[in-house]
Amino acid sequence: MTGDAKASVGSLRRGARVAAVQALYQMELNGGAPDTVIAEFESFRLRRDAVGVPVEVPGEIDEAMFADIVQGATAGTAAVDALIEVALDKNRSVARLEVVMRAILRAGAYELSQRDDIDAALTISEYVAVADAFFNDREPALVNAVLDRIARQVAQDGGAAGAVHDAAPDG
């Protein structure tokens, strides 16, 4: 996408979700503080020049949403993992999930539990698409089932518990 074309909110958020999953994956494998990884992504992986100007970014992202998901999923890992653990089948655990799967579920669980500005069904659909990009067997169905259970539990508990964000709905 060139700098002249304006991406839709949905497209920007889709890019943020994919980048957040990649950042969470990188953090789990290599360590690193969320702020450091976010800065690295913004400077190098999201291809910005030295003064922060976009340089032919192939898939633009909502950088604020990207940072929010990475920071939120890592700051609240225990709470996010607890949501996932309850939603998993009895014979599975968060610790035994493949690293990419864990990153996808953590990002999705954080978003569902803390961001009440985005429709849950849309969020689930987006993370299923992310899983489909990384896996080609039953993993996208697992993402759908786990995030659906989390969304139902969050709704039953009264909705997102986190801060209200001013971002526009996906579209």
Enumerate residues 6+ apart whose C-beta is below 8 A from 3.
Answer: 54, 56
Q: By C-alpha distance, which of 114, 126, 110 is closest to 70?
A: 110
Q: Residue 169 pLDDT more than 80?
A: no
Enumerate residues 6+ apart whose C-beta is below 8 A from 11.
Answer: 59, 60
Going 41 to 23 to 170 to 110, the CA torsion angle's sign is negative
Higher confidence at residue 7 or residue 6? 7
Q: By C-alpha distance, which of 51, 118, 159, 96 is closest to 105?
A: 96
pLDDT digits (tens, 9 = 90+) for 89-111: 888 999 999 999 999 999 999 99
Give this prediction's pTM.
0.82
Fold of 9-156: N-utilizing Substance Protein B Homolog; Chain A (1.10.940)
Listed in order, strand segments (DSSP E) in the chain are: none
pLDDT digits (tens, 9 = 90+) for 107-118: 999 999 999 888
pLDDT digits (tens, 9 = 90+) for 125-138: 999 999 999 998 89
With tokens 């690293």, the residue in question is 99
Band (pLDDT 50/70/90 cuts) for residue 67 is very high
Q: By C-alpha distance, which of 91, 89, 86, 134 is closest to 112?
A: 86
pLDDT digits (tens, 9 = 90+) for 35-63: 999 988 877 766 544 444 444 444 678 89
Q: Residue 33 pLDDT more than 80?
A: yes
